[in-house]
Amino acid sequence: MIDPKTLLERAAQLADQAKDEANAGIRERLLRMAEHYRDLAAHEAWAHENPPSVGAITSVLSTRAAH
């Protein structure tokens, strides 16, 4: 699991880098990457707050074993 704070810091770095980028294509790519890092941070934060239960994991594994 990755610390969401680290992902948000990287997103901020990419956004700052995009501000100084003269090439519009590169700037857009940097902004998309920053948005992706923010999405990952939100996912990691949710996963940290909502860990899977042992019952849920067992249920998934037993369902796969039956197939």
Determine the Cα–Cα distance for residues 33 and 26; give it in Å rounded to an integer: 10
Axis-axis angle for helices 24-49, 4-19 (nearest 10): 170
Determine the Cα–Cα distance for residues 23 and 37; give it in Å rounded to an integer: 21
Determine the Cα–Cα distance for residues 30 and 15; give it in Å rounded to an integer: 7
Measured CA angle at 45 (ends 31, 19), to 5 deg: 15
Per-residue pLDDT of 7-60, as tens digits, reads 999 999 999 999 999 999 999 999 999 999 999 999 999 988 888 787 777 877
Please report how many Cα atoms fall inside a 13 Å half-sphere around the Cα of residue 9, on the Cβ side.
5
Going from N- to C-terminal start, the domains of the chain cover 4-66
Full-model pTM: 0.73
